Structure 1
C-alpha cells in the first residue's frame, strides 16, 4: 500500500451477512478515495478474492460459517501468513476481551464493533492511511474492564434465540450439523449459520471453545 493519503484505497470486504456487506460498502464508498474491488461471504470466497484482486485493505468479519471452517483466528492467521503486509480491519459483534487480545496479537490493523460501524469504519480507514493501528473505544473499554475484573462478560446462554439454543443442545448431544439439519428439517447452511451466530454471541472462537463451554454449563 502506498504511503500517500491522496491515492484510492482498493478494499476487499468479507462478511457472511448480506445486510452487513451492503452496510460496509455504503459506509466505505462515502469516501471518494475508497474503491471496493471485491466482496466475499465465506472463507473460501475470501481466499479466491485475495488471489484474484489486488487490494490495499481487507475489511472482514471475524467468523463466517462454512462446512469445515468457522474459526476466526485460524482464518486471520492464514490471511496474515499469505499476505503479511496487507492491512486487515476486523469488524465483529463479539464482546470478548481474550479474543480481542488474540486478534491484535496476530497483527491486525483495526478492530471495531459492527454496532458502531458508521462512525468507526471511516476512522479505521484513516488510521490505515496513516499507517496506524485503530482500536475502537468500545473494544478498548471491554479489554480494560476485563483487566480490572479478571474476566469478560459474555451474553448469557439464556439470551440466545430458541433456534440457536436448540442447535447447541443437539450439538451437545453429539449430532453433526448434517444430522441436525435433517432432524429439524432445515438446510445445513441454516443450521451452520445458527451455530455460528450462537458462538458469536457467546464469544466463542472455534468448535473446541464451544465444546468446553457446553461442558462447563452442563449441556453435554
Structure 2
C-alpha cells in the first residue's frame, strides 16, 4: 500500500505539480490545504503517513504550523518545502523538528529520496542545504565550555535534544519526569551560554555528540 500524504501549499499550480509528481512516484495525496492553519485539522481527519508543507504562506507559515503539528504528532514525518537555502531557515527547521528540508527547485529524484528517508524514520537534507549547516558549524561560536564540564545526564539530554526529541520523549526514554528534563535543558543552555535549540544542535555536532550525517 502506498504512503498517504497531506500536502499544504498556498499556490494552487505549485500544489498541483507536486501532487502529480507524488502520484507518479506511487504516493497517495489524501488531502490538500492552502495554509498552515489547515495542517492540524487535515492531519486529525486523515491520519496520513507524512506531511509535506511549504514554509512561506500568506497567513500561517509552515514554521508556525510545524510547531502545532509537533505538539500532537512528535514523530510524524514532516517535509518542509522552501525557496530559501539560507542557514537561518535551515536551522529554524531543525529547531522545530522538521524531518526533511527540500528546496522547491529540487529534482524529482531528490523528492523521492527525501520521502523514502523520512518514511523510514530518518532525516533528509539535500547537499545544498547540508552546506548551509556546515557553514553554520564552521562559524565563530561563543561557546567556551568543554563537553567534559557537563554531567553524564546532561550529555544524555543534549544528545536526544540534538536528535530532535521533545522533552516528553526524552523523559520517557531516560525514565525521568518531564520537569527534570526541563531543568536539565535549562541548565545546559545556561552553562553553555546558548539561547535556543538550534544552538544546542550546533554545539552537539561540534563536540561529536552527534554526527552531521545523522541529519
TM-score of the superposition, structure 1-length normalised?
A: 0.58
Does the CA-based 8 Å contact 2:35-2:58 persist in structure 1? yes
Cα offset for 1:148?
A: 4.3
Q: Distance in 1 between matches of 2:12 and 2:128?
A: 24
Q: Higher relative contact order at CA 8 Å, sep ≥6: structure 1 or structure 2?
A: 1
- 1:19 corresponds in structure 2 to 13
CA RMSD, 1 decimal:
1.8
Unaligned runs of 5+ in 2: 141-215
- 1:14, 1:46 within 8 Å by CA — same for their partners in 2? yes
Distance change in 2, residues 1:92/1:117 (3 Å)? farther
Q: Tell whether the 8 Å contact from 2:99 to 2:122 is kept in structure 1 after alignment.
A: yes
Deviations 1:23-60 (A, max 9, x none): 2111111122x111000001232232122112000001
Question: Given the alignment of the two structures, is residue 123 of structure 1 paired with residue 117 of structure 2, yes or no?
Answer: no
Distance 1:143 1:107 in 2: 15
Whole-angstrom distance in 2 between the partners of 1:117 and 1:12: 20
SS in 2 for 1:86: coil
Structure 1 alignment gaps of length 5 or more: 1-6, 151-220
Match for residue 140 of structure 1 among 126, 130, 141: 130
Q: 1:45 aligned to 12, 30, 38, which one? A: 38
Q: Are the counterparts in 2 of residues 57 and 87 from structure 1 also a CA contact under 8 Å?
A: yes
Q: Which runs of 4+ in 1 moved over 4 A?
A: 146-150
